[in-house]
Each structure stands twice: as structure tokens, then as C-alpha cells.
Amino acid sequence: MDVYAPDRIRNVALIGHIGSGKTTLNEALLYRAGVIPRLGRVEDGNTVSDFSDEEQAHQMSINLAVAPIEWKGHKINLVDTPGMADFEGDVLAAMSAVDLAVFVVSATDGVEPSTEHYWLAAEELKLPRMVFINKLDRDNASFERTLDDLRSKLGSGVAPIELPIGEGATFHGVADLFRDKAYVYDSGTATAVEMPADMAEHEHEVHDQLVEGIVVADDDLLTAYLDGEVPSVEVLEATMKKGVTAATVFPVVCGSATRPIGVDRLADFIIEVGPSPADRPVMLTAGDLELAIEADPAGEPLVTVFKTAFDRYVGAISIFRVVSGTIRRDDHLYNHRSGTDERFHTLFGLRGKEQLDVMTLGAGDIGAIAKLAETETGDTLSKRSQPVGLPERRAATPTLATALIPVSKSDETKMADALHRLRAEDPTLTIEQHPITHQTLLHGMGEMHLAIALERMAAKFGVAVTEEPVKVPYRETISRPVEAEGRHKKQSGGHGQYGVCRVAFEPLPEGSGFEFVDATKGGSIPKQYLPAVEKGIRQAMAGGGKHGFPVTDLKATCLEGKYHSVDSSELAFSMAGRAAFQEALSTAQPIILEPLSEISVIAPSEFQGDIMGDITSRRGRVLGTNTGPYGSQIVTALVPTAEVLRYSIDLRSMTGGRGRHTVVPANYQELPASVASRLVDA
């Protein structure tokens, strides 16, 4: 492909709920642009953007995929994104790299949960948006019903610029409200015809509403319009483009990706009213400063990496956007996060899995490079003299975890590296070596997200693991003060071992941890042995109390002891400290502490009662409620961690997928006796 000026580039993400037809629309755009000879099908596993083994096996998009087309002297970089909520990380990554999001909405199903969620994310980013109402050729399709749904769920600014000609089996074209023209696809391609008589009156009415809605945003245009001057199509489109770029106006077009009808018109409108990189500077940070970086091909070279993929043959592939300057093969750029000078040995474009050989990429364009040494998703590469980075952005928060056990010794050796590479490819995944349960935990966005990650680990990196339930990190503490003596005496020829200590134990407030106090007098225990007493007690606490859980929140005061000038040692007093702790547990009435998690749930208001009732049934305590965007409700609560390990699954079921939540560790509280007895029995 040629090098395009920034104003001739459009970077576009296709976003929507699973099953809305994003990947098929991506195929249709490639087909209309002459890139592919025929449409692939998701069900057949032969689409350009769903090329991974996992995507073909599960018949759905799992990763973002880039596919450029050339259209009427412009380059459109299409970024197809997953629709399933589990793969939110790639959707947010795509949003960070594009200038326009085309939301694909099914005319049979309307606005679905993921569409609402990602619309809100785009709003927070002030990302320009369009809507493509898809599947108008299906039974029970309705443009008007879907348009009403868009307006009620996504708010103001939704503006139709096309109407369908027919619906369901009779759908065969679209009416362009800008031009007052009809386009039918009876021969497979668009043919301009007279407006059908049965829709002419309605079309003119909606056309007038569109014109009035556009001119009201421009005082000069409005004055001329009120004086009877009808603005040209070019003026209307230029004015609408300002609203689209400002993310205040959201054009709605329509069609069918499978036939394909209206897809070429969508490409036209992307060019005509969609912003280019020249219209939207990229915001970066330099220390405490925020900088707006223009897409200047002659500027300092600067790229941002928004996705890392692993290819079994070439290794890590970094997909990036050129923010500024012109990038050429064999250029050197500096990664300020890792402190690494990176050489662009190879440079290519991507069309699905196909690598398109390029020598140069200009400002605003999207490209890829293989085998960068120390570059990760989210990194910015520039000249050493230009230390800039991406500002903090909304990130997907993992909500479900599984515990991993390597199948063999070989798998155990390779597992850490495989998990690291998985996370480099998908930063939404997080890995934790839990300090209390000692489990290796993989956190993700849902069951499917975790299942796919383990499939990748086996297929790409040759590591097999089994799963086990996540253990709850219970703890223990004592409920009453006690004194206990610890004695360690051993004689086996030569030097023996001798150490005695008397220790007072008392409970401390929740979260205090452990405190050790030396209250000995008269040298009953030499000073050099007191740290050993403390060490022994700490080791015994970590080893578990009466019920096997680590002990915390207690104070140990060493009162007195005995020693032997020859047989005493650090080991002896460490063992004495252990013995004192074990003796104290028998009379200190130990109790189990359970961890609490603070959860924040956002869902439509009609689910508030169900959510609060469910929280109460989980022994949770609601802390408060607030009003969220678009009339949603945010419920914040403290809930025992054991009760929310799989909450994401239950919440989706309870709200039909329209509820989301975050969970963070909070504090500990005493486990109720009835629950503790069941836990001990188990």
C-alpha cells in the first residue's frame, strides 16, 4: 500500500455485542473494496479477521484484528473487535488506537448489554461514534424499533442519515438522507433509483429533520437556512463531521453485511463524516504535563503499541499506531519504560494474519513489527529526547480466577514463562502467587476468557495445566490473653540444646498483624537469643493455628526464660518460641477470620432490588447506592470473599449480561460460628 497523508487515513473499530455481525461486516467491507473475492463465514472459519485456532474452534472473535482497505483515495484501517464481554481488554485497546468507533447493532435484537457498556467506555474517551444497524434482511428486523432503542439506551445525538428500503425479506436498498436519493442492490451492487413512492413522504420528513438538526449547530448556517437558503450536501456533511469529531453527533446508517447491502455506503460515510488522524491529536503525557501530539508526517517519530500478539513462527508481534513522524524500516526508537533502544528490523501492515510488506508508515497509520526486545502493550517509543507516555486510561478489571497446577515437572518449569507471555498478549489477564494459600492464580474476565487462555498456553507454549478451586485465604487469631511456657531441651552427646521462654499472648485489633515485645529482666534470656524466640513464634503462626490457617493480629510479650551457657543456641530458643505458641493456642480460644471484599456493581435500575437481595443472601452488607450513567444504579457492598469467588457468573445470569462489577480485597472479620463449623468439617 502507498503512504497516505493523515487526512486520507481513517482508523475505525467495529464494536458491538457478540452476534451482531461485526466480523461479517468486516468481511463485507473487504469484499466491497476488492480485497477478497468472496465473503467468508464465521461458521466456516474462513474470515480474514477470525484466523486463530481458538477463534475458528469457538466460531467467534477473541482477539482484535487489523484489516486495511483502500477506498476512493483513502486508507481505512479496520479493527475488528470481540463481542463477548470476557474479551473486553481488546475492545478497549482498539478504542485507544482509532479515531472512530462503528457500533454494529442487530435490527432483530436491538441494543444489547455489551453495546451499552462499550458506548459508555467510548464516551469516557470522547471517541467519535457511528452506528450501523445490521441484519435488516432478517425476519423480525425493525429499523424504527432499533432506532428507538438506540435513542432510549444510548442518549441524545443519535441521528439517522439513512433509511432502509424494505425490511426482512423485502429489504433491498437504502435511502441517503443527505442526497435525497435511493440506492437498491437488486443486481448485487448499488444502483441509484427514484425514491419509492410509499416512503417518499417519510423520507422527506426525516431529511428535513436531519437538515434542521445539523444547521442548528452552526449560527451562520442556521441564519442562512431560516432565510430560505438550502445548504449543499458538502456543507451538511462538513458540519456533521464537526459534530462527529466532537463526539456530540452519532450518525446512524443501515444495511446487511451478509448480502451485502449498504456496506459501500458505510465506507463512503466513514470517509465523508468520520474524523481522520489530522482531526484528532493524540493526548500523551510528559511528566506532569499533558501534550496534544499532532499527526505530522514531518514531526518527531513517535509510536504507541496497543496490542501484542504471539505468532508461533515469528514470535511477538507489536501492533502500533504512528502518532507522529514517519517510520521507516531499520529506524531506531527508544522505549522510555524499559530503557531499551528498539530497532525496527521489519515493518509490515496486517490484514488478519497476512503480513503486508511495507517500507514506510506515515503519521496516523497503523502497522506492526516483530521481535522488539523489551516492548509491551501500552508502551510508547520515540526519540531519547522525547520521553512521553500514554495517560492512564480505563482498563478492564479481572473478575474471576482459577488456580493452576502444572501436569508434569516439565510443565512446572515452563509455566511461569508461558503465563508471562500470555499476559503480554492479553494484559487483562493477571497472575498471582498467593502468599497465604500458595496457589498460582490466573485472573480473567470470565469462564470463557480463562478457558481460552489455558487453550493458548497448551497450543502456543506447550504447557499443560489442570485447575482446582481457588482457596479462600482464611486466617486465625486468638480471642483471649494467655501465658504459656515453651521449653526445648535435647541431649544427644556433645553439646545439647536448651532454651526456655515464658510468653504472654494477647489479641490485637483487626489488621494489626504481629507485635513482639521483650519484657525480660535480669538477663534471663540473653539479648542475642530474643530474635530467635520471635522468629520461632512467627514461623509457628505462618504454619497455621488450630484449624490450619495462618495466625495474625496478636501480641507476644516475652516475660522470662532460662538458658544454658553451653547448650543454648538460636535454634533452641526458636524451637522454644514455637512450643510456647503451640501451648498458648490450646487455651487462647482461637477463632477463624474470613476475608471480605468490597464489590461495586453497576446495572440498570430495574435490577437494583435483585442485586441488593442477592448481596444480603451472601452475608454481605450494602454500603450505599449511587446513580450511574443512563439511569443505571451503582451498588457498593462488603461481602465475604468466599461468597463472591464466582460472582461474575451469577451477576451476568441475574441481569441478562447487563450488570458489571469490580471487586477489591477489603479487611477481615470473625467467621460466624455456624459457618466456621461447616468449614472445619469440610
For residue 254, what pLDDT is reported? 98
Query: Looking at the predicted structure, is the pLDDT value of residue 588 above 90?
Result: yes
Rounded-to-integer distance, Cα 425 and Cα 440, Å: 19
The ranges assigned to domains in the chain are 7-279, 282-382, 400-468, 475-588, 593-681
Beta pairing class for 74-80 and 9-15: parallel
Beta pairing class for 380-382 and 332-335: antiparallel
Give residue 375's pLDDT band: very low, low, confident or very high (50, 70, 90): very high
Cα-based angle 443, 656, 134 (whole degrees, multiple of 5): 100
Query: Looking at the predicted structure, is the pLDDT value of residue 1 above 70?
Result: no
CATH superfamily of domain region 7-279: P-loop containing nucleotide triphosphate hydrolases (3.40.50.300)
- Return the exposure string of 142-160: e unless at least 16 CB atoms fall within 10 Å of the residue's CB, then b: bbeebbebbbebbeebbbb
List, for residues 48-77, the tens digit of each pLDDT value: 999 999 999 999 999 999 999 999 999 999
Cis amide linkage into residue 260, ω under 30° from 0: yes
For residue 558, what pLDDT is reported? 98
For residue 628, the SS3 value is: coil
Q: What is the CA radius of gyration of the chain?
A: 32
Q: 239-242: which pairs have CB atoms within 8 A and are 24 or more residues apart? A: 239/214, 239/215, 240/159, 240/161, 240/214, 240/273, 241/272, 241/273, 241/274, 241/275, 241/279, 242/217
Q: What proportion of the chain, given as a percentage, has pLDDT over 70?
A: 99
Domain 475-588 CATH (choose: 3.30.230.10, 3.40.50.150, 3.40.640.10, 3.30.110.30): 3.30.230.10
Cell of 37: 473475492
Describe the strand order of the beta sheet including 430-433 as a list of residue ranges: 430-433, 440-444, 400-406, 465-468
The stretch 350-374 carries a mean pLDDT of 95
List, for residues 440-497, the tens digit of each pLDDT value: 999 999 999 999 999 999 998 999 999 999 999 999 999 999 999 999 998 766 678 9
For residue 434, the SS3 value is: coil
Give residue 646's pLDDT band: very low, low, confident or very high (50, 70, 90): very high
Phi-psi category of 525—alpha, beta or left, where left has phi over 0 and alpha has psi -120 to 50? beta
List, for residues 513-538, the tens digit of each pLDDT value: 999 999 999 999 999 999 999 999 99
Query: Looking at the predicted structure, is the pLDDT value of residue 227 above 90?
Result: no
Closest CA to 273 of 242, 252, 246: 242
Q: Compute the mean pLDDT over every residue in the chain, rounded to the nearest whole number.
A: 94
Residue 4, CA distances (Å) to 70, 270, 363, 365, 627 in order: 10, 16, 9, 8, 45
Sequential DSSP letters for 129-189 = EEEEEE-TTSTT--HHHHHHHHHHHH-TTEEE-EEEES-GGG--EEEETTTTEEEE-TTSS
For residue 601, what pLDDT is reported? 96
Query: Looking at the predicted structure, is the pLDDT value of residue 370 above 90?
Result: yes
Rounded-to-integer distance, Cα 442 and Cα 48, Å: 30
According to CATH, the topology of domain 282-382 is: Elongation Factor Tu (Ef-tu); domain 3 (2.40.30)
**DSSP label at residue 408:** S
The arrangement of secondary structure in 400-468, i.e. its CATH architecture, is 2-Layer Sandwich (3.30)
Rounded-to-integer distance, Cα 366 and Cα 69, Å: 12
User: Do 400-468 and 593-681 share a fold?
Assistant: yes
For residue 366, what pLDDT is reported? 98
Residue 57, CA distances (Å) to 12, 102, 303, 400, 466 in order: 27, 26, 34, 23, 21
Cα-based angle 329, 372, 406 (whole degrees, multiple of 5): 150
Sequential DSSP letters for 50-81 = --SHHHHHHTS--S-EEEEEEETTEEEEEEE-
Give residue 90's pLDDT band: very low, low, confident or very high (50, 70, 90): very high
According to CATH, the topology of domain 593-681 is: Alpha-Beta Plaits (3.30.70)
Which alpha helices (DSSP H) does 566-607 contain, by range?
Answer: 570-585
For residue 493, what pLDDT is reported? 64
List, for residues 276-329, the tens digit of each pLDDT value: 999 999 999 988 889 999 999 999 999 999 999 988 788 899 999 999 999 999
